[in-house]
Amino acid sequence: MRISYDYAGSVVLVTGGTKGLGAGIAGAFLAAGAQVVVCARKEPSALPAGVGFVAADVRDPAEVDRMIGEIEERHGRLDTVVNNAGGSPYAPLAGTSPRLHARIVELNLTAPLLVAQRAHPLLDAAGGSVVMIGSSSGTRPSPGTSAYGAAKAGLHHLAACLAAEWAPRVRVNTVVVGLAETESAAGHYGGPEGVRRMGATIPAGRMALPGDVAGACLWLAAPGYVTGAEILLHGGGEIPAWREIASGHGG
């Protein structure tokens, strides 16, 4: 049995909602009847019919202020914010630019704070919610993406803090995403075979898909009691290397 949601009359903002997990999340809310607005620094060549767009760099407080102001002017309300914008290149800490790591922290931690802060009055008026898109990189060592992992750990804590500060009017939760398969996954993991091999390291047998993440967002954004929660969406986690080594299949 599939669970269905009715978001008719609701306005939902998905940051970074033009591609990857964000596009899947935006599409799910649209299919559930919501008025969906996505943002990115540059407008994409095409968007699904019915999805609105505001150009904004969510690391910039002035642009965040303008973006939320435009949404309020267009729709008069805001019910849900999905803070999805984020990511990091592979960037070992030694020998790389301090500014690069500062920008990674800005995108993955400071930006969600700015968006949530500016949206709060509208969310409070609507009795709405914030969903943070976190990462398993913030719950375990993240070599090669240390700043990203640290920022995501901070994001998880930020969500818990805001849930306590803004209760009971505004609920704040986090979806902690593990390895995920998006349109860029093949290039990142060495092609389709690499994606398959990575999926095999997960108890569920595959990486998370945008629809998996979207389903968790639809549930968390719906009116209810859950706030301050971290939903681990990782298919059971990553099978530890020691198990392969102990079995004789590892290096």
Pairing verdict, β 129-135 and 171-177: parallel
Burial degree of 242 (CB within 10 A; 0-12, 13-18, 19+)? exposed
Helix (H) or strand (E) holding 98: helix 98-105
Pairing verdict, β 80-83 and 51-55: unpaired
Q: Among 87, 26, 2, which residue's Cα sits nearest to residue 221?
A: 26
Q: Among 25, 15, 250, 237, which residue's Cα sits nearest to residue 137?
A: 237
Helix (H, G, I), strand (E, B) or coil at 2: coil
The owner of tokens 């990142």 is 188
Answer yes or no: 148 catalytic: yes
* From 5, 7, 90, 148, active-site residue: 148
Instruction: Just list the catalytic residues.
Output: 148
